[in-house]
Structure 1
Amino acid sequence: MPASTHASSNRQEGRKLIAQNRKARHDYAVEDVFEAGVVLTGTEVKSLRLGRASLVDGFATIDDGEIFLRNVHIPEYEQGSWTNHEPRRVRKLLLHRAEIERLVGKTRESGLTLVPLSLYFLQGKVKVELALARGKRSYDKRQDLAKRDADREVARALGRRVKGIE
């Protein structure tokens, strides 16, 4: 077997989800979504391969034209030694310059924030799905819940009608 074919077959193909921030879609109105690479250390990647991460309190900031991911918890790798990482360290995100400048403009002008939605492996590389979002107020959340309940009730009624129950 040629070396190039063998190396590509060992790589993880497709998208493997590590962690998801479900609460983000409840707390924020998502306006745009970006995919960014993450600068990580070796023990962080090994910990992520075990599926261990939490995006609950995570957010991204823009400092000196670079984007950083903060408050994302990647626990220490259990088999790691002195090379282990800090679980909540600040991690740099990798985006194209044009994307960064667009995000800078949007966050400054309209009070939007950057929230991580999910963390996943894509062809062996760790990626984060970053949302440009606006915080929801409590009444917005209640309206969304009421709308979802109403839609669910309509779907149930249609289902029962199709089955001939009603």
Structure 2
Amino acid sequence: MAEKKSEGFKIISDNRQARFLYEILETYEAGIELKGTEVKSIRAGRVNLRDGYGLVRNGEMWLINSHISPYETASEYFNHEATRTRKLLLHKAEIRKLLGKVEQQGLTLVPLKMYFKSGKVKVEIALGKGKKLHDKREDIKRREDKRDIERAMKRY
């Protein structure tokens, strides 16, 4: 869990795996509906977005399968379920636009980051197109070549 502060932003969780598995086409910032113990766990950095995905159901956007660990000092009665479905807060026009692209073009809604912005928890959600195996290999090769060039430049 990377922590970075800049201009009112504090990144809590970053889903780097999503950038490897999907070609990111568009990103959106969404609020998220949380319970009190979830916010406390998020402040402690106990979030995993890797398996999460977005879904549009009945004109509302939902974040499914993202893991926020139960708050340790709260009792079981007051605590939240770790992988419960959470509502994302977007404008209706944005939701309609996303729904059209997901249904017609076969794209996926993937959470990229969760962060605090002016004291509120925000989720950066992206429209992604799944990469094929050869695209992933190409990315790995490009990254290794870049690393080799930087090493060579460092020596001289």
TM-score (norm 1): 0.85
Q: State the one-letter code of the partner of 1:133.
A: G
Q: For residues 5-33 of structure 1, give each alpha carbon's deviation from its aligned partner in whole angstroms, at most 9, with x where no partner exists.
A: xxxxxxxx701111111111111111111
Aligned to 1:71: 65
Once the 2 structures are TM-superposed, how far is the Cα of residue 159 of structure 1 from its aligned partner? 4.1
Whether 1:141 aligns to 2:123 is no
Q: Choose from 123, 131, 140 the match for 2:126.
A: 131
What corresponds to 2:52 in structure 1? 58
**CA drift at 1:157:** 3.2
**In terms of Rg, which structure is larger?**
1
SS in 2 for 1:129: strand
Q: Percent identity?
A: 52
Residue aligning to 1:95: 90
Aligned residue for 1:7? none
Q: 2:35 is matched with which residue? A: 41
Shift of 1:152: 2.5
Task: Give TM-score scaled by structure 2 length.
Answer: 0.90
Task: Classify the secondary structure of the residue corresponding to 2:54.
Answer: strand
Deviating beyond 2 angstroms after TM superposition, the runs of 4 or more aligned structure 1 residues are 151-160
Quote how far apart the aligned CAs of 1:75 are.
0.9
Q: Return 5+ residue gaps in structure 2 as ranges.
A: 1-6
TM-superposed deviation, 1:153? 2.4
Q: Distance in 1 between matches of 2:62 and 2:102?
A: 14
Q: Which amino acid aligns with 2:53?
A: F
Per-residue deviation, residues 125-155 of structure 1 (Å, max 9, x unmatched): 0100101101111111001111122222233
Instruction: Give distance in 1, aligned partners of 2:151 and 2:80.
Output: 49
Aligned residues: 149
CA RMSD of aligned residues (A): 1.3
Secondary structure class of the residue paired with 1:114? strand
SS across alignment from 1:87? coil
Higher helix share: 1
- Write the distance in 1 (CA, Å) between the matches of 2:46 and 2:102: 30
**Separation of aligned partners in 2, 1:46 and 1:158:** 45
Question: How many angstroms apart in 1 are the aligned matches of 2:31 and 2:120?
Answer: 8
By how many angstroms is 1:156 displaced? 3.3
